[in-house]
Homo-oligomer: A and B are copies of this chain.
Amino acid sequence: MKTVTMADVAKQANVSKSTVSQYLNKRYDYMGEKTKARIEQAIKELGYQPNIVARSLKQKSTKTIGVIVANILHNFSTEVSRAIEDVCHKADFHTIICNADDDPDKEKKYIEMLRAKQVDGLIIFPTGNNRDLYRKMLDQNYPVVFVDRSVPDIPISSIMLENEKASELAVDYFAKKGHERIAMITTPMNENVSSRVERLEGYQRALQSHGLDVREDYMRSIDPDQVEGILEEMLALDQPPQAILAGNDLILKEVLTFSKLHHFKIGEDLSVIGIDDVPYASFYSPSITTIAQPTFKMGKMAGELLLDKINKKSTADQRPDYHFEPTLMVRESVKDNKED
């Protein structure tokens, strides 16, 4: 596999490397037609492929960005990533996606790795626990955009859902359908991660606005694998909840598994709404009412914002965060208690 280099092309075409380089970069301004033709010919004959690594070294730009998602298992992450890829692709940027697996150490490793690879900027779904690193990048004026969560005291713009609104939409809908005992289950809280906290706050506030009790035993923040146990507990209460708000897709999955296992009929024995519009929501039986995030728009925004920072070198953020509106997708998993 002897590699063909620009020097080979130059020799073959009887011009200098500079001229070949000009040609490749389409700076034809003053290039003779015959020269052009000869170079083209030589490139074809030799099967020359430019070495982007060499170019990147010289230009100090790899035309590549990195995306570090907190946890690739969330549907949200993959959907947003694909939108980011779309935007970057159109701008001739490549995208490298890494999965921090909710582990700050992995996140750190990936940030360092990607920066060593000279990516031109980073989109991070932050674990929240690498504050020093985040700050360092900020200080260095390195282009970064956050997604899904903001980090207290780190003024890097974040592309987020209106999380409180998401819970409100769900609770409002439950209430409208005559539910009074509404529980919420989310994944564990991390004080450095805004979104989960906000969803819980929205849930509480919405309950209050409907004059419903906020009960500690209806509010649980736990790992997905503990959902089954928790649901058993909840549903064995004197006053079991009539409705469950699942804080994200992983929790929803566990709720559905539980109800199948224990023969609770969703939409009859138990009403359910999930935050995140999971792919199977529409063809599940019964179909699942969800709160959808505008993942495509959010990813697009994140990509555009980062590319702006990269191009304009104005990495300072004009505004703190970008909040996107959630949408209620009404389907069949909420019983209508008002009907009878």
Interface residue ranges, A against B (CB under 8 Å) = 1, 47, 49-54, 56-57, 62, 72, 78, 82, 94, 96-97, 112-113, 115-118, 136, 140-142, 253, 256-257, 260, 280, 282-285, 287
Bound Cα distance A253, B54 (Å): 46
Can you report 16 A-B residue pairs in the complex whose CB atoms are below 8 A from each other? A1-B140, A47-B136, A49-B112, A49-B115, A49-B116, A51-B57, A52-B118, A53-B56, A53-B57, A53-B117, A57-B57, A97-B97, A256-B283, A260-B283, A280-B284, A284-B284
The reply to whether B116 and A50 form a contact with Cβ atoms under 8 Å apart is yes
Instruction: Point out the residues of chain B lying under 8 angstroms from A49, CB to CB.
Output: 112, 115-116
What's the minimum C-beta distance from A44 to chain B, rounded to whole angstroms?
13
The reply to whether A52 and B117 form a contact with Cβ atoms under 8 Å apart is yes
By beta carbon, the residue of chain B nearest A261 is B283
What's the minimum C-beta distance from A70 to chain B, rounded to whole angstroms?
16
The reply to whether B282 and A257 form a contact with Cβ atoms under 8 Å apart is yes
Bound Cα distance A136, B287 (Å): 49
Bound Cα distance A51, B82 (Å): 28
The reply to whether A51 and B260 form a contact with Cβ atoms under 8 Å apart is no
Instruction: Point out the residues of chain B lying under 8 angstroms from A97, CB to CB.
Output: 97
By beta carbon, the residue of chain B nearest A142 is B1
Instruction: Point out the residues of chain B lying under 8 angstroms from A53, CB to CB.
Output: 53, 56-57, 62, 117-118
Bound Cα distance A72, B253 (Å): 22
Q: Given A57-B57, A97-B97, A118 and B283 touching (CB < 8 A)?
A: no
A260: contacting residue among B56, B142, B256, B287, CB under 8 A? B287
Instruction: Point out the residues of chain B lying under 8 angstroms from A260, CB to CB.
Output: 283, 285, 287
Shortest beta-carbon contacts, A-B, top 4: A257-B283, A52-B116, A280-B280, A256-B283
Instruction: Point out the residues of chain B lying under 8 angstroms from A140, CB to CB.
Output: 1
Instruction: Point out the residues of chain B lying under 8 angstroms from A50, CB to CB.
Output: 116
The reply to whether B284 and A118 form a contact with Cβ atoms under 8 Å apart is no
What's the minimum C-beta distance from A242 to chain B, rounded to whole angstroms?
20
Bound Cα distance A56, B52 (Å): 11
Bound Cα distance A96, B118 (Å): 15
What's the minimum C-beta distance from A17 to chain B, rounded to whole angstroms?
16
The reply to whether B283 and A253 form a contact with Cβ atoms under 8 Å apart is yes
Given contacts A53-B56, A53-B118, A280-B284, list 6 more A-B pairs with CB under 8 A: A47-B136, A51-B116, A52-B116, A96-B96, A257-B283, A260-B287
Instruction: Point out the residues of chain B lying under 8 angstroms from A96, CB to CB.
Output: 94, 96
Instruction: Point out the residues of chain B lying under 8 angstroms from A54, CB to CB.
Output: 57
Instruction: Point out the residues of chain B lying under 8 angstroms from A47, CB to CB.
Output: 136
Bound Cα distance A97, B96 (Å): 8
Instruction: Point out the residues of chain B lying under 8 angstroms from A1, CB to CB.
Output: 140-142
By beta carbon, the residue of chain B nearest A136 is B47
What's the minimum C-beta distance from A112 to chain B, rounded to whole angstroms?
7
Bound Cα distance A117, B56 (Å): 9
Instruction: Point out the residues of chain B lying under 8 angstroms from A112, CB to CB.
Output: 49
Bound Cα distance A265, B109 (Å): 49
What's the minimum C-beta distance from A111 to chain B, rounded to whole angstroms?
10
What's the minimum C-beta distance from A155 to chain B, rounded to whole angstroms?
17
